[in-house]
Amino acid sequence: MGSDKKTIWILNQYASHLETRHWELSRSFAEQGYNVAVITSSFHHGKREYVYDEKVKFVERLPGVTYVYIHSEPPYYNNGGKRIFNMIDFCGKFRRALNRIAEQVGIPNFIIASSAPPFVWEAGFSAAKKFKAKFVVEFRDIWPLSLVDVQGVSPKHPLVKFFGVIEKRAYKRADAIVSTMPYAWKHVMEVADVPREKIFWMANGINVEGTRKCLESNAALPSDLDQYLNSHWCGVYVGSIAKCECIEFLLRGISKVNDPEIYFAIVGEGGEKESLQKLADELGLDRVRFFDAVDRTLIPKILQKAKLAIGAVHDIPIYRFGLSMNKLNDYLASGVPTILASNVDNVVKDAGHFAVPTGDEERFAEAVLKIKGLSAPEREELSVKAKEIIHQDYDYPEIGKKYLKMMEQL
């Protein structure tokens, strides 16, 4: 490890499964000459199991990028009390391991503490103070506002009040505040008296070069999905099959599409899949088929064969601060015409694609038919515009450069 290199610590409890954002950012930082440590829990939030048994485990994932796994306890299997205790334990064990981490990966010049959960802001600030590092508060989800607007928790709930205190204190302590939502600065300034120039947007992005390599690889789609896409003029949804994804609306919108040549593939897994398949049957959607989730690296190949991509979000107040959806990056980076049902400004609208009001099934169906009628030059024009926007604001190597420039100016 060269002593002339600066060191960045990224504190994200849920990066144990090589979560895309900080995997990509750490790689970008390292490629530009920085040492990077991604500090996370060894309890895999998605699989609900431990990936390592050691109390602290160091793994060099890339040249210049070390993942530090902390054995936070207890294990949990839902969003109840044990998960809260695990959050607290993670931060406590991180604090106790500070010297060991610094000896192994280097004393930090910058610490990025990324929530949710917001407890990491407290732990990150303690480490920044100890090592005299610049402290960056990052949030990918707005807690406690998400608990209120999305989960329906009362604003008066003690946990909401408690997280609100932590949130306000973090914003005031931070040298910089970063959000993945483009208009989140409005929320920050509602919560805490901080200057606007202290707040930055660094999008949830996509690695465009990685997408290209996926398309050039020999990896094959599942044969049933591949045959379906090849045999039909097909729209696709790729992602989680959950209530928050508004797939019920998408199915009802599809039921309004009166064109027997148009088919749809719903690709993914989730708790709503069985009930949505029943709904599709009830609606008589014999041109809609559900497929199992695929490895993320295959998504570009699905979109390459698709004729359009679809998505929707609920009309929830928190979305006024902007959307941060990985699937939209995938859709637009592919260049495929995209429909998004949303009542807020979004990247699909910015790219000149098809933004329709949430809940308006007729407008959704009209957009599908309009895309079906596009000429080849019109499709190409949409593709070029979408790829330009993705490269400018959503390509992780570019985001990494902007992030470093911001930190170096602190």
Query: Would you state the pLDDT for residue 91?
Result: 96
Q: Are 387 and 14 in contact (CB under 8 A)?
A: no
| Bond preceding residue 355 cis, omega within 30 of 0 | no
Query: Would you state the pLDDT for residue 117?
Result: 83
In what helix (H) or strand (E) does residue 185 lie, and over which residues does it extend? helix 184-191
Query: Would you state the pLDDT for residue 18?
Result: 67
* Structure confidence by residue, pLDDT tens digits, 258-315: 999 999 999 999 989 999 999 999 999 999 999 999 998 999 999 999 999 999 999 9
Residue 337's nearest CA partner among 363, 360, 359, 309 is 309
Domain range annotation of the chain: 7-205+395-408, 208-394
Query: Would you state the pLDDT for residue 3?
Result: 58
Query: Would you state the pLDDT for residue 2?
Result: 45
Q: Identical fold at 7-205+395-408 and 208-394?
A: yes
Burial class of residue 310 (count of CB atoms within 10 Å of its CB; 0-12, 13-18, 19+): buried
Query: Would you state the pLDDT for residue 292?
Result: 96
Report DSSP state, residue 336.
-
Q: Does domain 208-394 have CATH number 3.40.50.2000?
A: yes
How far, rounded to the nearest angstrom, does the alpha carbon of residue 357 sit from its chain's CA centroid?
23
Q: Return contacts of 143-146, CB within 8 angstroms, 24+ apart.
A: 143/115, 143/116, 143/117, 143/118, 143/167, 144/118, 145/187, 145/318, 146/116, 146/318
Structure tokens at 25: 């950012």
Q: Are 37 and 101 in contact (CB under 8 A)?
A: yes
Q: Does domain 7-205+395-408 have CATH number 3.40.190.80?
A: no
- Taking residue 4's Cβ as centre, other Cβ atoms within 10 Å add up to 6
* Cα 263 to Cα 247: distance, rounded to the nearest angstrom: 15
The residue written with tokens 């009542």 in the block is 343
Report the relative pairing of strands 7-11 and 35-41 from DSSP bridges. Answer: parallel
pLDDT per residue as tens, the chain (410 positions):
445 899 999 999 999 776 689 999 999 999 999 999 999 999 998 788 999 999 999 999 999 999 999 999 999 988 788 999 999 999 999 999 999 999 999 999 999 999 988 999 999 999 999 999 999 999 998 989 988 988 889 999 998 999 999 999 999 999 999 999 999 999 999 999 999 999 999 999 999 998 999 899 999 999 999 999 999 999 999 999 988 899 999 999 999 999 999 999 999 999 899 999 999 999 999 999 999 999 989 999 999 999 999 999 999 999 999 998 999 999 999 999 999 999 999 999 999 999 999 999 999 999 999 999 999 999 999 999 999 999 999 999 999 999 999 999 99
Report DSSP state, residue 392.
I
Residues 6+ apart with CB under 8 A from 1: 35, 105, 106
Structure tokens at 268: 């993914």
* Cα 222 to Cα 50: distance, rounded to the nearest angstrom: 29
Report DSSP state, residue 41.
E
The pTM score is: 0.91
